[in-house]
Amino acid sequence: MLVALIVTCEVGFWVLLAGGLALRYLAKMPRLGAAVLLCEPLLELVLLVVTTLDLKNGGEPSWKHGLAALYIGYTVGFGHYTVKWLDAHAAYRLAGGPKPAGAGYGRARAVHEWKLWGRTVLAAAVALGLLQIAIWYVGDAADPGSLRAWQYGALRVVAIHGVIAATYSIWPRKAPAGARERDRADERVKG
Average pLDDT over residues 15-41: 93
Q: What is the pTM of this model?
A: 0.85
pLDDT on residue 71: 93
Q: What percent of the chain has pLDDT over 70?
A: 93
Cα dist. 25→13, 83, 88, 102, 166 in Å? Answer: 18, 14, 11, 21, 38
CA 191 to CA 188: how far, in whole Å? 5
Write out the DSSP string of 106-149.
HHHHHHHHHHHHHHHHHHHHHHHHHHHHHHHHHGGGS--HHHHH
Q: What confidence category does residue 58 fall into, taking pLDDT thresholds of 50, 70 and 90?
A: confident
Name 97's Cβ contacts closer than 8 Å, sequence gap at least 6: 88, 91
Give the tens place of pLDDT for each residue, 77-102. Answer: 999 999 999 999 999 999 999 999 88
pLDDT band at residue 11 under the 50/70/90 scheme: very high
Residue 188 clears pLDDT 90, i.e. is over it: no
What tens digit of pLDDT does each residue of 166-180 get?
A: 999 999 988 887 766
Cβ burial 78-117 (10 Å sphere, 16+ → b, else e):
bbeebbeebbeebbeeeeeeeeeeeeebeeebbebbeebb
